[in-house]
Homo-oligomer: A and B are copies of this chain.
């Protein structure tokens, strides 16, 4: 992507910013959303969230465990309570295993010991079953001693084919 493209887009965005610069840090809906980095997801749009309303945490798969640090900061310092965990259909995380990805990376850098060592030390968190991954992540958060108990923690699947969400747990 050309830097010119997004710089020009940002110029237009800034020119129409209006009163958005007056929003304060704490999310006004007291909500944190954990979801995938997938390019086909715009969580604010498919949930109808306006600027300033919710924390949006995104990583490959929408893994709750990797989001723990962020959720603690979100709840303890910025007052969020409810959490939505949203994984999605056709997710890349359904398509590989740790061993397959490690082999692919190592093959791309033959004889590079630093690469082998680094990639073998990582776990990539793929999951074979979409709904089970949502249930597991919600259970992880509900059971974790550092997650506040007074909010609702729910789990969803976003369907990239239709733009619709369905509740899993």
Contacts and interface: CB of A to CB of B under 8 A. Distances in A.
Among A40, A108, A154, find the residue whose CB has the most chain B CB atoms closer than 10 A: A40
A70 B162 contact: no
Contacts of A108: 76
A146 B125 contact: no
Interface string A18-53: 001101011111111000011111101111110111
Nearest to A31: B1
A23 B52 contact: no
Contact of A76 (B6, B101, B160): B101
Contacts of A119: 72, 146
A153 to B, nearest CB: 12
Nearest to A22: B161
A165 B6 CA distance: 10
Given A67-B59, A73-B124, A37 B32 contact: yes
A16 B164 CA distance: 11
A51 B27 CA distance: 24
B37 A42 contact: no
A77 B108 CA distance: 12
A66 B154 CA distance: 24
Interface centre among A66, A73, A78, A146 (most CB of B within 10 A): A73
Given A31-B1, A160-B23, A13 B48 contact: yes
Interface string A149-162: 00000100000111
